[in-house]
Structure 1
Amino acid sequence: MLSEVTAIRYVTPLREGGSLPGIVEADDLGTYVMKFTGAGQGRKTLVAEVICGRLGQRLGLRVPDLVTIQLDPVIGLGEPDQEVQELLKASGGLNLGMDYLPGSLGFDPLAYEMDPVEAGRVVWFDALINNVDRSWRNPNMLVWHGEPWLIDHGATMIWHHNWPGAQASAAKPYDASDHVLAPYGPDVAAAAAELAPRVTEGLLTEVAADVPDEWLVDEPGFDGPDAVRRAYVEALLPRAATIHERVTLGRRTERKAQPPGWLTEHATPWPHTTGGGAVRSEHQKDGGE
């Protein structure tokens, strides 16, 4: 179960995301990137964030820790932006927070290096969850303390938008031609050998259990939250066993932009050791989940 905190101050919106997430301070002294139930993408975005984020963590990938955040809409009364005010008013109750990584930089494949084995683990994971939103156009990766962190999994598992066709959709291949890590020669087969056996029915059941009931109620075709959780397990489990055989790694579209000089001059290159799991932020080391 995710830890629950209460938002005490809305700091600023993050306009890079289509759902207009915002930075908030919480009563546990932590700072979080908050995603809202009232955003246009709806609660399924938050469900995907929880299932994929927790699964990634359990597989040893670096994903910021997640919490649920209670929001009182009154927190936005002093917010001058009308769009933000309306979002806060529509999102009273339980929302999702991701540990804020202060000082992190957006990942740029022209400025950082990555081992093919590590790249393969990320590509395999994205293939498993059908992540269409980690391309060179929009990497959804951050570099924090010299390490890669995976963020923004709301656009994954597209099959949960049409449950009657979920099994057929989950069986489809994964095109990684434009994946941000495609240039590193990702060793997807090695990743599958390492990670696929760890994606068990028990593990998937555990991560699905972290989704709050209120984000799963009233799902058409299901008689309750547990039935919806079971559907996620049944879609992901067979995909984990064979998806590495259906990953396409062609030549990606060439980039035209070049990284700025300040980034290439001062960036910390990677290498790093794989494995171990996510590094926790200081406030979570001191007493978080």
Structure 2
Amino acid sequence: MDKKGMIFNIQQYSLHDGPGIRTIVFMKGCPLRCRWCCNPESQKTKPEISYDANKCLGKKICNECEKICDAGAIEFSDLHKAVIQRDKCSSCMKCVHECPAKAYKAEGHQYSIKEVLDIVEKDSIFYRHGNGGLTVSGGEPLMQGEFLIQLLRQAKKRRLTTAIETCGYADYPILKQAAKYLDAILFDIKSLDEQQHIAYTGKTNRKILQNFDNLCRDFPKLPKYARTPVIPGFNDSPDDLLAIKNYLANKPETVYEQLPYHRFGVAKYNALGRRYMMDE
């Protein structure tokens, strides 16, 4: 049976997530809770509903969502816009299917490996004669380890080049098995300060650094793109960045990249009814 994975987006023609032109498969679920995360819809493993009040037609024109919500989770505000009571929502997705304005969106769908690769291969003309291909991102793709490994294995059978983007927080046997089917890996090294790492991501960096060390030992020829999102107040001091550079200095086949901080994901937090933790 073709195993299925929980995916929230498949993005075509990307130029920033590995060598060449990439098709990115975004998988749901992440063990970290980075304060600056630009894809909050990736964090939870199960499907959830996002809501864009700007698209809502308002109660005077339409209140189909309120009528079909069996959980009583949808009410209308004084502005005649729908409001979701998240503690009552069962994520049944009825509002997603019934809303004529598409104000509701399902964040997360199950895909089979064949379905994913058939979509990826639609872009094969762009990377068949170059070094582009499939990049699996998230969330954290290693959280769905069995699906990821099978996906990468089947991608290689279709002669696709492969990469993953990972925060590095995973059991090493899963990472090691996945690495056997990779042409490149994009690996976040956010900070060497353990207490700062815990404060801003919710997890220690020990497992992440140990995994990167093990990866360099076991796969010295695998191209590695170590990346640091430079976050104000977290890791943007010269000492913090120099410590990461020194740590990576003698790692085999490793390119270091620093990524600028941005706030592109703020609207997504509003749509999910969550608070953006970098507002301060």
User: What TM-score do the two structures reach when normalised by structure 1?
Assistant: 0.29
Decide which structure has greater strand share: 2
Task: Report the structure number with the largest CA radius of gyration.
Answer: 2
